[in-house]
Copies of this chain bind each other. A is one copy, B any other.
Amino acid sequence: MVADNLHYHDTTVTTEHKVTKYGHRPCVIWLTGLSGSGKSTVANVLERKLFDLSVKTHLLDGDNVRMGLNRDLGFLPHERKEGIRRVGEVANLFAQSGTVVITAFISPYAEDRQAARDACSQDFLEVFVDTPLEECEARDPKGLYQKARQGLINDFTGVSAPYECPDSDAPDTLRIDTTLMTASECAEVIIERMIKMNIIGAQ
């Protein structure tokens, strides 16, 4: 063990080692937007396209977080804040492992999104999935807006709780409009930005 301990630092695999091996840099692609805005759809199409480009990817969304890591949390403001904090920390762990991690959560508060960015030791791109409330409500894929309007759901973002829009002029923020583009086109815009950020090479 003594000899091994002397070589401890040599044995540690760093993020840079993984960058070299995987052939791309890691980052967090943080999708934010109203319920029904298309975050999950865009996230899935984006992951598929990146995966087909041999990028190491992972998608974090409500499906794999709510019933697991965040299952002790409800929808009270401080619980939502803690939930987003954990997602930010986990996204950072994935990025440290060399992965391009895509998150798809409403994450309505600018402060919480900033905290996720601050927790991240790798590149972080905030993507505002900008779909007007009327359009989200017209789609209402899970019937949640209807329930919120009926008062059956409290603190529903866009109806009875605020959504703080990202500043889409910020250099590390991207705004995509799902009423003008298909999910595939939205994903392509994100990939173009990732190429400009030197996360992946030009295709």
Chain A contact residues, CB within 8 Å of chain B: 1, 3-5, 8, 11-13, 17-18, 21, 38, 41, 44-45, 47-48, 51, 54, 56-60, 64-65, 68-69, 72, 82, 86, 89-90, 92-94, 96-97, 99, 119, 178, 182-184
Contacts and interface: CB of A to CB of B under 8 A. Distances in A.
A184 B6 CA distance: 13
B13 A47 contact: yes
Is chain A's binding surface mostly helix, strand, loop or mixed?
helix
Nearest to A99: B97
A94 B48 CA distance: 18
B5 A44 contact: no
B56 A11 contact: no
B56 A56 contact: yes
B93 A45 contact: no
Given A4-B183, A56-B56, A58-B97, A68 B92 contact: yes
A184 B4 contact: yes
Greatest chain B CB density within 10 A among A11, A21, A54 is at: A11
A128 to B, nearest CB: 17
A12 B48 contact: yes
